[in-house]
Amino acid sequence: MANKSSWFLLTALLLGAAGVYGQLLNGGFEDPDIQQDNPYGDIAAHWGRWGNWMNRETAWEPTQSGTCLMGYHHWEIREDTSSGFYQDVTNVPAGSVCVFGLFAYKDPGTDAEFVELRLERLGGFHVLANRTYLMKELRASWQRLWIKATNETAGIRVLVNVKPKELWGRNGALKFDEAELTVLPPESSR
Ligand SMILES: [Ca+2]
């Protein structure tokens, strides 16, 4: 009985901690960036992006939440370079177990190479863990993708990278929504 009580207490502490650390901002892509001089609203607030045709969309359906999502216009891509989006999260103690997940939806016929989820050191360019999903692993319905890593230094970057089909004649689109980061801090930080 004591063990059971301890387990409940530990779970409560972890769940509480998960709420305190590492919250992603605008994980559902509902808010546009209004800092930059961009009248289209295709940049999501609190998210960085690179490459072409990775846009916040307000009229694509279905969404997983709200009325907006991040849409990859694979059929529009004219080069073989990747596109993606990322967010730096500062309030994550070093040594935390971090789980980054988001929902993905593959339009029928989409023939991109892959979707890659990454956790990187805060500020990027040092990969802690990555996971690649091929198109055959994705469905024309919302499914949750995820990646887990322990950060070596404080903070973390969550990142989604999409590689288009290598050859000309690209089809389809990918939708992303409801990004979420769960952080379990090390016992020493408590
Ligand atoms: Ca949304």
Look at 37-41, 93-97, 118-122, 165-169 and tell me which has the smallest mean pLDDT.
37-41
CA of 26 to the centre of ligand 1 (A): 9
Q: What is the pLDDT of residue 2?
A: 47
CA of 27 to the centre of ligand 1 (A): 8
Helix (H) or strand (E) holding 145: strand 143-150
On the question of pLDDT at 14 being above 60, the answer is: no
What average pLDDT does range 159-176 have in this prediction? 96
CA of 10 to the centre of ligand 1 (A): 32
Q: Give tens-digit pLDDT for 129-148.
A: 999 999 999 999 999 999 99
On the question of pLDDT at 3 being above 70, the answer is: no
CA of 71 to the centre of ligand 1 (A): 11
On the question of pLDDT at 113 being above 80, the answer is: yes
Residue with tokens 């863990």: 129
Q: Is the pTM of this model over 0.75?
A: yes
The CATH code that applies to domain 2-185 is 2.60.120.260
| Strand-pair category, 114-120 with 69-72 | unpaired
- For the beta carbon of residue 42, count every other beta carbon within 10 angstroms: 17
Cα–Cα nearest to 183, from 142, 159, 144, 154 = 154
Please provide residue 4's backbone torsions phi and psi, each rounded to the nearest 5 degrees.
-65, -40
Please, which pLDDT band fits residue 6 given cuts at 50, 70 and 90?
A: low
What average pLDDT does range 148-166 have in this prediction? 97
Cα 19 from Cα 29, distance rounded (Å): 20
CA of 189 to the centre of ligand 1 (A): 33
CA of 103 to the centre of ligand 1 (A): 10
Tokens of 40: 């289209």
List 159's β-bridge partners, or say none: 86, 118
Task: Work out the percent of the chain whose per-residue pLDDT is above 70.
Answer: 88
What average pLDDT does range 153-163 have in this prediction? 98
- Mean pLDDT, all residues of the chain: 91
Q: What is the pLDDT of residue 49?
A: 96
